[in-house]
Amino acid sequence: MGIPRTFKIFTSTNPQPIRETFLVHPFNTTPTNDFRNLCRGLAWRFSPRKKVEWGLRSEEEEKVYSWIYALAQSEKDLVFEYVRSTERGLSFSEAERRLKETGPNIPLQYPFPSWWHLLWNALFHPFNIILIVLSAISYISLDYGNGSIMLSLVFISVSLRFYQEYNSSKAAMKLSEFVKCPIKVQRCAGRTIQTELIVQVDKRDVVPGDIIIFEPGDLFPGDIRLLTSKHLVVSQSSLTGESGSTEKTADIREQACTPLLELKNICFMGTSVVSGVGAGLVISTGSKTYMSTMFSTTRKLKQLDDFERGIRHISCLLVPIMLVAVTIVFLICYDQSHDLSKSILFGISVASALTPQMLPLIINTSLAKGALAMANDRCIVKSLTAIKDMGSMDIICIDKTGTLTMNTAILINYFDSWGSPKEKVLHFAFLNAYFKTQQRYPLDDAIMAYAYTNGFRFQPSEWSKIDEIPFDFTRRYVSVILERQVNGKDKSNCSNDRVVITKGALEDVIKVCSYIEQVDCGDVQKISIENRQNITNLAEELSNEGLRLLGVAYRMLGREPNQGENAYDESVESDMVFIGLLSFIDPPKDSAKEALWWLAEKGVKAKVLTGDTPSLAMRICKEVGIRTTHVITGPELDLLDSDSFHEIVKKATVLARLTPDQKFRVVQALQKEHIVGFLGDGVNDSLALEAANVGISVDSGTSIAKATSDIILLEKDLNVLVAGVEQGRITFGNTMKYIKMSVISNLGSILGTLLATYFFQEESLTPRQLVIQNFLYNLGQITIPWDKMEDNYVKVPQRWSLRGLAMFTLWNAPVITLCDFSTLLFLWLYYDGQTISFCRTAWFVEGLLMQSLIIHLIRTEKIPFIEEVASWPVICSTVLISSVGIAIPFTPMGELMGFVPLPLSYFGFLVILFLGYFTVGQIVKRIYIRIYKRWL
């Protein structure tokens, strides 16, 4: 009894006290006996050892691993001592005490953000902070109008983003609510005589030391050490990502060299019972389970993407530029007027004009519009920034099952031993599937569906079931014993013989076969080595095509006088006659191939990351159009160094047999050069979902998968991703329009303002006039999110480039300054002697119209108004703002602001000026595109 010495390879290299690391449990208890083994375990903790799984583990992971392996290698009576429980279970009072001590049995997972967290994220934007600071300064300087405008912009922007993300978060939380699940628990009651009771409790109330009773369909509420089991089959797909099941048994003591997820006497939280029954002792709950610690040490905040980093860089660069500009304007103004308060107020107004005040609002409006469009495509956008990341995404990593395939089984063909289709093979397989009652699998439904839909009339009513030998993972096949019904009209033609029909894993079925039948002639002969080799060759050929195979065999049984129903055991599954095999496939979705083709057309490469076999993954990938020239498996990746790993992952299109940690590493490796999306729905996908730039899950996914994802699909359809990519690029493009036009117009206008201030020997515009001009300009830009994007733009992934923005500004801002200088020159030469009010009015109208028309030059790489026309909202806003700007000087409001009516000759000059601007701007645009190969 006790823990074998080989257990040392699973423990930490850091010496820790035995009570803290070797047998750590919520109650920090150790058994009182077997002292020698505990001392030996203490010695192992101080001995040198290596890791064998998951690389470097944290201390918490080491504790969980040590605890699980200790109980897996111990006898049942010692297990009860470890968790301080009894064979009768816990008393109700003790269970209640432990629940208070350990807390509710809720696994460690990503909580959905609270409302104040969403509000803080929406508010804490660099440009929001700049606007708030400038607003405060404006209020201090008694410029209430300017301050109110800036605060209004911040309020609208923050409210819009908070409203969208809060509603999305609430919708996602509804999809992830912890469903109440009753668990059968054995508790003991009574003061003098202990009575065992089976009660139902919610899985939140399960505590370490509880004995649970489970049956098919039940979820394990914690990590479980099995006490009893009968034909127990468990699905661990939530942890491994593989669709298969595994057999578990209580009557075994594991070895230390057994991989964790292959421990036969341990069941893990989040896995489920496929078939069989049993009882188990809860050894860990909540955050101390394997599922929780599996992800706890890698939880981290997503890193800022290129776009967010670029925005922060702009805000950082803007501050010193503002200080320089404000200082220069202040010195010029103060030198001319010697009015300190007036100069400060004008400087603040210039700083406000220099700030792209609408940037947070434009970004959030664009993202909210994109989220609304994606909601119409049945997906919930939890993080608005994920929309523009989808526009930049150039690699999408997807699972195979349920994404590329229909996650079902379809019978393809039925062969005899020589590869010829034979109806008898299907007939016997149908009878086996029809009459079996335990552990029904999708393959059984596939056999019956094929027979019914193709018109086969096998008449199961002619047969009666005598007995059934259920499937188990040792034999890996199932048998039914049938007898043909006696026909009352012709009893002479009816045999009393019975037949056992066996169906299961091909290699295991062949092992129990001593004969082989030539179905055409009914000749049964001894199976030879050559026959076995032919069957093996046929199976390999079909398996390489990604097909799943089942073997079919039978044996005729004589009826003994004393042998009735339910009197058969596994001994009848010997000396059987092999008749053939069946092939199945999980077919690809009809929409998958088209969706992948559209994604490829838009520059998004697909990589399949799956836990299934390479052959199966390759077959599906070929059918949906994914190249399979570069395929690698998880075990092969483990043999590579860091550099080789990165290079192989870049080239590979199919990565099979991956563990959750390997999926995580693959995503991280790809992110060094790409914007990566990941589509997954299981616990095993959570690491990769969080690491990806765009994490995508589905509403049927696990809670932790939905919590770590950015987008939740209400339909697992790749066509939704295609729409999301398009929407992301439109959102990104419209945002870049505003950023580029704001940067060049603001910088160009500030240079013009400095020239005008020096030229007029006065403020070029009063603070109030400057604020109104800036407000009208910003108001005209609010329709940019509703603008359309050119087809060429949405065909390729879009990436943020700070260097590209800098070069764009250097090329285009001088064109605006040139136009401003031309206006000043015209005012000086043609209207020499006019009052300062006239000059300010002319400067106000020219600046407002210039900034409004810049939108149309910047928004397209084509010739505006000729080759490409903006959307109607943009055109209407341009016309409206321009009309208001022209009309203001002729209204009482204009008189109140210090404006005077302008002569018709000035508007004639503006027509010539803007034609010149568009001509020069288009020439600069052509040269820029020729050099840098892009515009926006």
- 554 neighbors 532 (Cβ within 8 angstroms): no
Which two three-digit tokens encode residue 727?
């929407």
Q: Find, among 730, 790, 777, 732, the residue nearest to 877 by Cα.
A: 777
HEC-encoded secondary structure of 283-326: EECHHHCHHHHHHHCCCCCCCCCHHHHHHHHHHHHHHHHHHHHH
Continuous segment of H or E residues that includes residue 275: strand 272-284
Which two three-digit tokens encode residue 153?
């912009």
DSSP letter at 74 equals S
Which two three-digit tokens encode residue 198?
């089976």
- 703 neighbors 769 (Cβ within 8 angstroms): no
Task: Look up 590 and say whether it is catalytic.
Answer: no
- 766 neighbors 347 (Cβ within 8 angstroms): no
Classify residue 630 by burial, with Cβ atoms within 10 Å: 0-12, 13-18, 19+: middle
Q: Find, among 258, 211, 269, the residue nearest to 236 by Cα.
A: 269
Give just the sign of the alpha carbon dihedral 167, 169, 172, 173.
Answer: negative
Contacts from 309-312 at CB under 8 Å and sequence distance 24+?
A: 309/800, 310/800, 310/801, 310/802, 310/805, 311/125, 311/126, 311/127, 311/359, 312/126
The residue annotated as part of the active site, out of 210, 399, 467, 681, is 399
- For residue 253, how many other CB atoms are within 10 A of its CB? 14
DSSP letter at 81 equals H
In whole angstroms, give the CA distance from residue 451 to residue 454: 5
Q: Find, among 902, 800, 874, 749, the residue nearest to 351 by Cα.
A: 749
Are β-strands 513-518 and 576-585 bridged in parallel, bridged antiparallel, or unpaired? parallel
Are β-strands 90-91 and 182-189 bridged in parallel, bridged antiparallel, or unpaired? parallel
- How far from the centroid of its chain's Cα atoms is residue 640's Cα? 26
- Phi first, then psi, for residue 465 (nearest 5°) are -85, 130
Q: Is 9 strand, coil or helix?
A: helix
- The total number of residues shown for the chain amounts to 936
DSSP letter for each residue of 866-907: TTB---HHHHHHHHHHHHHHHHGGGSHHHHHTT--PPPHHHH
Contacts from 695-699 at CB under 8 Å and sequence distance 24+?
A: 695/386, 696/721, 699/175
In whole angstroms, give the CA distance from residue 836 to residue 438: 95
In whole angstroms, give the CA distance from residue 253 to residue 271: 21
In whole angstroms, give the CA distance from residue 813 to residue 800: 20
- How far from the centroid of its chain's Cα atoms is residue 505's Cα? 35
HEC-encoded secondary structure of 667-733: HHHHCCCCCEEEECCCHHHHHHHHHCCEEEEECCCCHHHHHHCCEEECCCCHHHHHHHHHHHHHHHH
Contacts from 692-700 at CB under 8 Å and sequence distance 24+?
A: 692/397, 692/667, 693/302, 693/305, 693/389, 693/392, 693/393, 694/386, 694/389, 694/390, 694/393, 695/386, 696/721, 699/175
- 481 neighbors 465 (Cβ within 8 angstroms): yes
Q: Find, among 111, 478, 547, the residue nearest to 275 by Cα.
A: 478
- 658 neighbors 666 (Cβ within 8 angstroms): yes
The catalytic residues are: 399
